[in-house]
Homo-oligomer: A and B are copies of this chain.
Amino acid sequence: MKTIGKLAKELDLGVETIRFYEREGLIKQPQKPQNGYRVYDDSITKQLQFICKAKALGFTLKEVASLMSMDGDCAKVESLGLQKLSLIQSKIADLQRLEVVIKEMTNSCRNNNDQSHCPIIDSLK
């Protein structure tokens, strides 16, 4: 049993972040004894780690909430995962196209001898 501050330190989260997740419905408010302080048991740690990991995979907090509420329905979870996968793949493709364009631009800059004129600026005009 620990208060919110210890929990936050343990997970390297801010106290405010935990309260925020509670407000957003990702975790529920634990029972509070007479003094009004939140008191958590160990199960909250797993829940918050789940949230952090899913967030790191690119799920939004709303999606994390969905994932948690789907609890075990593998087909639904897979579908959300596939959806996220295709989003990631199209982001990668977008960025790779950008990469090519910017590479070309900086290359042309490097080969440029005319100091009064920048090919990047020109190409954007």
Q: Which of A5-13, A16-24, A33-41, A52-60 has 4 or more CB atoms under 8 Å from chain B?
A: A52-60
State whether A118 touches B74 (Cβ < 8 A): yes
- Number of interface residues, chain A, beta carbon within 8 A: 45
Main secondary structure of the interface of A (DSSP, over half): helix
A101 to B81, CA, bound (A): 10
A43 to chain B, nearest CB (A): 11
**A interface residues, Cβ below 8 angstroms from B:** 46, 49-50, 53-54, 57-58, 67, 70-74, 77-78, 81-82, 84-85, 88-89, 91-92, 95-96, 98-99, 101-103, 105-106, 109-110, 112, 114-121, 124-125
- The 10 closest A-B CB pairs, nearest first, are A78-B109, A74-B118, A81-B106, A85-B102, A77-B118, A77-B120, A92-B95, A50-B124, A53-B124, A88-B99
